[in-house]
Amino acid sequence: MLIIGEKLSIIARRVREAMNAWEAGPIQEIAKAQAQAGAGMIDANIGPAEDGGEELMQWMVRTIQEAVELPVCLDTTNQGAIEAGLKAHNNDYGTAMINSTSNDPERFGMLELAAKYNCRIIGLTVGKGGLPADEEERAAIAAEIMARAMEYGLGLENIYLDPLVLQIATTQEQAIKVIRAVRMFQELNDPPMNTVVGLSNISNGCPKHVRPILDRYLLALLMYEGLTAAIADPKEVVETVKTMEVLMGKTLYAHSYLEM
């Protein structure tokens, strides 16, 4: 199970201020903390970054990888910034990931970049027309993204399908449809497709004490259905991941399994 550390986001005040000041210290401190907590990749969310995005993403990638020997998930809608980040990325630490493409024509260029640089990419199962209604619509969009990736020459092993987790506080009926979608995604290819979610989306808008409970239980259900990656806070979810891998027989039980 790949945990993609979510804490380096421009939404967070401390991170935003560090980006604006080009201050490496806070960025590297957060990256190190996530790596120590169990992240296998670090998400670098710089927002739309319409002005100066290329330089900012290059700086973020280099700053992160100077602190931790992990790959980076490049998170922005600015395609120029994505390519700049891919050029700066140290692939000795693992393969980079693009966050994300979708069924919106404006996002097709992200697939071209993934094929050009032979990197991983998140395929968000949403189109220009709006949010998917159910698991069947998510699977149909996923199949279109897969077909388009093959047209661009990108191997399906590099696609991470995202069923689009929505807020339970406002769209409770969608939670079970997301779980079913992850199950359906496994049937779209042999070997099964990689899958990913933005885990904390489920608890957005919920009370602070409830949020980690919702996140952890959803993660357990999704892992049972075959989820392979999650963008999440590794400090909050690593125990759930290790426990589910033991219960599902993916790792051998030992009394010290949480410490391994």
Closest to 82 in 3D by CA, of 102, 104, 111: 111
Cα distance between residue 131 and residue 164, in whole Å: 9
Structure tokens at 70: 């992990």
Give percent of the chain above pLDDT 70.
Answer: 100
- Over residues 38-74, the pLDDT tens digits come to 999 999 999 998 899 999 999 999 999 999 999 999 9
Task: Quote the pLDDT of residue 128.
Answer: 81
Give percent of the chain above pLDDT 90.
Answer: 97
Backbone angles phi, psi at 99, to 5 degrees: -120, 95
What is the value of pTM for the model shown? 0.97
Helix (H, G, I), strand (E, B) or coil at 106: helix
Q: Answer yes or no: is pLDDT of 130 > 90.
A: no
Task: Quote the pLDDT of residue 129.
Answer: 79
Q: Residue 180 — very low, low, confident or very high, per pLDDT cuts 50/70/90?
A: very high
Task: Quote the pLDDT of residue 115.
Answer: 97
**Interaxial angle between packed helices 13-21 and 24-37, expressed in degrees from 0 to 180 and rounded to the nearest 10:** 130
Question: CA 165, 171, 174, 179 torsion: positive or negative?
Answer: positive
Closest to 143 in 3D by CA, of 181, 98, 185: 185
Residue for token digits 């808008």? 205
Cα distance between residue 205 and residue 56, in whole Å: 30
* Domains of the chain with bracketed CATH: 2-259 (3.20.20.20)
Q: Across residues 98-102, what is the average pLDDT?
A: 97
